[in-house]
Amino acid sequence: MMGGGESYAALEESLLPEQAAARRQWEKTYLDVLGVCCSAEVALVERLLAPLDGVRAVSVVVPSRTVVVEHDPAAVSQSRIVKVLNGAGLEASVRAYGSSGVIGRWPSPYIVACGVLLLASSFRWLLPPLQWLALAAACAGAPPMLLRGIAAASRLTLDINILMLIAVAGAVALKDYTEAGVIVFLFTTAEWLETLACTKASAGMSSLMSMIPPKAVLAETGDVVNVRDIGVGAVIAVRAGEMVPVDGMVVDGQSEVDERSLTGESYPVPKQPHSEVWAGTLNLDGYIAVRTMALAENSTVAKMERLVEEAQQSKSRTQRLIDSCAKYYTPAVVVLGAGVALLPPLLGARDAERWFRLALVLLVSACPCALVLSTPVATFCALLTAARMGVLVKGGDVLESLGEIKAVAFDKTGTITRGEFTVDMFDVVGHKVQMSHLLYWISSIESKSSHPMAAALVEHARSKSIEPKPECVAEFRVLPGEGIYGEIDGMRIYVGNKRVLARGSSCQTVPERMNGLKGVSMGYVICDGDLVGVFSLSDDCRTGAAEAIRELASMGISSVLLTGDIAEAAMHAQEQLGGALLEEVHSELFPEDKVRLVGALKARAGPTMMVGDGMNDAPALATADVGVSMGISGSAAAMETSHATLMSSDILRVPEAVRLGRRARRTIAVNMASSVAAKAAVLALAVAWRPVLWAAVLADVGTCLLVVLNSMLLLGERRGRRGKEDACRATARSLEMRRSQLAAVSSDSAATKSVGKTGGDASKGCHCCHKPSRSPEHSVAIDVRADEQREGPTAATCAPAKKVEVTGSVNASVMPASSSCVSAGCCSP
């Protein structure tokens, strides 16, 4: 194993200019270091490696016993690093590319020898000299402890190995050889078991990372090249059964791709020309040619890896507290131990041996191992579980906050709704421009916008055989909460909601035919001060949105809706949600209004989560205690500022993530309580009855093991009362899949763009029950407030404040039956 294979994470080279100038080739090497157990060893590893020339950064991931070293292989090789670590008895080895991490499945020869000798010594009642075998057992098992202990001591760190060695020496001094042997055996065996337990966790970690193939095939020449050498815009070939090596867009071919590595959902996603594909996803069938859109190191999966890695290293509040205590705690107890051993005999106490034993018990119990492990292992396992279900949580702090959430603010477009708009109406106003011109202008300008509406408008123009020309747009600006502005062919054009009407045009009368439209988002096009076009767009709620809100409510978490869209569109979404209770609905918000409302929610309800996808959500995401962005489909700004990211579009992950956060908090609390309780019990026993050294060791290593195992429960399947619902959700999800497949096919053939509406028919396949999703006595108070505080020109365009009461039964009748069942998830499988 040692030196075998290459380090796999050399993906990421230095990007900092000063280092680039130094002309060093930084590489990351992942090492399995079995000897890492406590935070004491973290300091040891850092002190060992940091002084080496050519080592830039060292990070230690305790739970998976991984050390990540960023180094210059020319100055310091992998084998040198391994040698340095092994010199201190840390049992290090380089992890090979794609290996599952820790491999120490069998107990080391030291443990075996120790155990066998100890067993043999237990026959000393037959043959008294056999008792010396117990001493031999202690000696046989001790070398790894000794090496580590010496390495720690020589660097003036006090670690568990030293404490244990003191205990062993003490037992030998008391001529209690069996006790010495038992201590060594218990300690080494527990360490081995812990390592075994950690194997599962680290296997999960490496399956998350290093999914990207190191080589790719150029489509034109068939050359095999290193993914690191592929530039943006190259076309690469991906055959069936291969991983996509770089993020890109399909230019040729058709296939289905499994995106589980990114989204946590394993079902095939159809891809055809113009679809985006992501590195690390699996091409299931069919050949596709992909034009790369990012360098390998900037691909989404590489960013994800970096985040997961950083998340493991970032410490949570609880952990920082424990670490800062542990620093004083251990030395303090050593002083105390010395005091207990020496003072009473000096003061004339008779039972010196008892006091000495008591001091040893105190020393062993002083090891904060279990307490120190209680948070990071649980955090690590929870982060891993989150990542597996498609939620990228940026650190243990966020995880802890997730468990505290009391209120959730949802953005509408792209979060509660799909963000896949259908153009219901598109009309020219007046005689200033022709339809084809208008479409050309709008699609060209909109192709520069990342707003979900933009995609629909561009698609609409394409369906009328008009190709957008973004290169002809001279100036482009996003008007937050309003729309966009662009200059094309010398024309100054605004596209957006009625606020741009106030801004860009002198005439503010809306054409007659616009007034009849309900529940849709209205758009206006202003060209050089004149209203030249109107359009309306509609969007449907995501599958699972209603269930997510209902589930949050069942957990005592209230949900509110914040949208930049108009009140009618917000109402439409509320109606589609059926029985799911939204406590408040705020519409026509500017980005800063969202920030204000999230702040108000925090003050009123407590810890608040904000879920959003758009650029306009970014400030609010940052303000919330936990900002959750809608992963790949959302904007980059939202992803950057958020604390967590949903890699799939499955909104049900929100309550799941909160549940996971709560479980993690509970696990940490149990871990901490049990580790403190075990020590307290042993000490109480020692003081009240008799200081039993091996019991103290057992309590120490036992709780360590218990803490690890308890934390690993977080890796398991989500528990709860959801078996049946899960099956139903799977049906709903596959229906949604079918539906988006249909949408993709029909938009491809440039057929009518009303798929969003008729596509709902696909959900007729759901054999739903007809039970009402909510009892009628509940009622929803919707506070439709067009922002009261606003002043200035836009105020005139805002709708007056009104309060609407919508009862559950009314909602049920408004809902089209099929979609209500799918979104409510009430059907039986």
The answer to whether residue 696 forms part of the interface with Zn ion (CB under 5 A) is no
Asked whether the CA dihedral 679, 681, 684, 689 is positive or negative, the reply is negative
CB 480 to ligand ATP: min, Å = 6
Looking at the Cβ atoms of 29 and 195, the one nearer to Zn ion is 195
CB 613 to Mg ion: min, Å = 5
Looking at the Cβ atoms of 302 and 456, the one nearer to ligand ATP is 456
Q: Say if residues 397 and 311 touch (Cβ distance below 8 Å).
A: no
CB 452 to Mg ion: min, Å = 7
The answer to whether residue 444 forms part of the interface with Mg ion (CB under 5 A) is no
The answer to whether residue 414 forms part of the interface with ligand ATP (CB under 6 A) is yes
* Residue entry with tokens 């000063």: 18
Looking at the Cβ atoms of 7 and 449, the one nearer to Mg ion is 449
Contacts of Mg ion in 560-619 (CB under 5 A): 614
Tell me how far the alpha carbon of residue 517 is from its chain's centroid: 41
The answer to whether residue 446 forms part of the interface with ligand ATP (CB under 6 A) is yes
Residues 6 or more apart whose CB falls under 8 angstroms from that of 332 comprise: none
Looking at the Cβ atoms of 396 and 414, the one nearer to ligand ATP is 414
Q: Say if residues 481 and 794 touch (Cβ distance below 8 Å).
A: no
Residue type, 571: M
The answer to whether residue 482 forms part of the interface with ligand ATP (CB under 6 A) is yes
Residue 411 is among the residues annotated as catalytic for this protein: yes
Question: In the stretch 150-189, what mask flags binding to ligand ATP with x, by CB under 6 A?
Answer: ----------------------------------------
Contacts of Zn ion in 129-168 (CB under 5 A): 160
The answer to whether residue 700 forms part of the interface with Zn ion (CB under 5 A) is yes
Tell me how far the alpha carbon of residue 524 is from its chain's centroid: 39
Asked whether the CA dihedral 746, 749, 751, 753 is positive or negative, the reply is positive
CB 484 to ligand ATP: min, Å = 4
* Residue entry with tokens 């990211």: 645
The answer to whether residue 367 forms part of the interface with Zn ion (CB under 5 A) is yes
Contacts of ligand ATP in 623-642 (CB under 6 A): none
Instruction: Identify the residue among 136, 257, 358, 453 touching ligand ATP (CB under 6 A).
Output: 453
Asked whether the CA dihedral 326, 332, 334, 340 is positive or negative, the reply is negative
**Computed over its alpha carbons, how large is the radius of gyration of the chain?**
32
Residue showing the smallest CB distance to ligand ATP in the complex:
564
Beta bridge partners of 779: 807
Q: How many other β-carbons are positioned within 10 Å of the β-carbon of residue 517?
A: 15
Residue type, 637: A
Q: Say if residues 697 and 164 touch (Cβ distance below 8 Å).
A: yes
Looking at the Cβ atoms of 472 and 479, the one nearer to ligand ATP is 479
- Number of chain residues interacting with Zn ion (CB under 5 A): 4
Q: Which stretch binds ligand ATP (CB under 6 A): 66-74, 86-94, 307-315, 409-417?
A: 409-417
Question: In the stretch 405-424, what mask flags binding to Mg ion with x, by CB under 5 A?
Answer: ------x-xx----------
Q: Say if residues 628 and 643 touch (Cβ distance below 8 Å).
A: yes
CB 204 to Zn ion: min, Å = 25
CA atoms within 13 A on the CB side of 527: 20
Instruction: Identify the residue among 117, 137, 341, 369 touching Zn ion (CB under 5 A).
Output: 369
Q: Read out DSSP for 251-319?
A: EEE-EEEE-HHHHS--SEEEE-TT-EE-TT-EEEES-EEEEE-S-GGGSHHHHHHHHHHHHHHSPPHHH
Residue 369 interface partner, choices Zn ion, Mg ion, ligand ATP, none, CB cut-off 5-8 Å depending on type: Zn ion
Instruction: Identify the residue among 521, 574, 642, 794 touching ligand ATP (CB under 6 A).
Output: 521
The active-site residue, picked from 72, 411, 539, 565, is 411
**Helix residue ranges per DSSP H, 633-722:** 636-641, 653-688, 693-712
Beta strands 626-630 and 644-646: pairing type?
parallel
Q: Which two tokens stand for residue 108?
A: 């080391």
The answer to whether residue 808 forms part of the interface with ligand ATP (CB under 6 A) is no
Mapping DSSP to helix (H, G, I), strand (E, B) and coil, where does residue 751 land?
A: coil
Between CA 164 and CA 173 the distance in angstroms is 14
The answer to whether residue 148 forms part of the interface with ligand ATP (CB under 6 A) is no
CB 626 to Zn ion: min, Å = 33
Residue showing the smallest CB distance to Mg ion in the complex:
614
Residue 367 interface partner, choices Mg ion, ligand ATP, Zn ion, none, CB cut-off 5-8 Å depending on type: Zn ion
Between CA 418 and CA 549 the distance in angstroms is 16
Q: Which two tokens stand for residue 458?
A: 């561009």
Q: Say if residues 283 and 238 touch (Cβ distance below 8 Å).
A: yes
CB 441 to ligand ATP: min, Å = 12
Q: Say if residues 761 and 752 touch (Cβ distance below 8 Å).
A: no
Q: Which two tokens stand for residue 824?
A: 């409510």
CB 473 to ligand ATP: min, Å = 13
Looking at the Cβ atoms of 369 and 632, the one nearer to Zn ion is 369
Q: Which two tokens stand for residue 487?
A: 């200059």
Looking at the Cβ atoms of 214 and 519, the one nearer to ligand ATP is 519
> What is the three-state SS of 340-352?
HHHHHHHCCCCCH
CB 136 to Zn ion: min, Å = 25
Looking at the Cβ atoms of 363 and 621, the one nearer to ligand ATP is 621
The answer to whether residue 451 forms part of the interface with ligand ATP (CB under 6 A) is yes
CB 700 to Zn ion: min, Å = 4
Instruction: Identify the residue among 141, 337, 486, 564 touching ligand ATP (CB under 6 A).
Output: 564
Catalytic residue ranges: 411
Q: What residues line the site for Mg ion (CB under 5 A)?
A: 411, 413-414, 614
Q: What residues line the site for Zn ion (CB under 5 A)?
A: 160, 367, 369, 700
Q: What residues line the site for ligand ATP (CB under 6 A)?
A: 411-414, 446, 449, 451, 453-454, 481-484, 495-497, 521, 523, 563-565, 614, 616
